[in-house]
Amino acid sequence: VQLQAFGGGLVQAGGYLRLSCAASGRTFSSYAMAWFRQAPGKEREFVAAISWSGARVYYANSVKGRFTISRDNAKNTVYLQMNSLKPEDTAVYYCAADDGGSSWYDSPQAYNRYDYWGQGTEVTVSS
28-45: per-residue pLDDT in tens? 999 999 999 999 999 999
The Cα–Cα gap between 30 and 1 comes to: 10
Query: CB burial class (10 A; 0-12, 13-18, 19+) of residue 20?
Result: middle
pLDDT of the residue at 94 = 98
Enclosing H/E stretch for 91? strand 91-98
Name the maximum alpha-carbon separation found in the chain.
41
Q: Which long-range contacts (CB under 8 A, 24 or more apart) does 57-60 make?
A: 58/108, 58/109, 60/109
Q: What is the pLDDT along the chain (127 residues), one digit of tens a residue?
A: 999 999 999 999 999 999 999 999 778 999 999 999 999 999 999 999 999 999 999 999 999 999 999 999 999 999 999 999 999 999 999 999 998 788 999 999 999 999 999 999 999 999 9
Residue 30: HSE in the Cβ half-sphere, 13 Å Cα cutoff: 9
pLDDT of the residue at 100 = 79
Beta bridge partners of 33: 50, 97
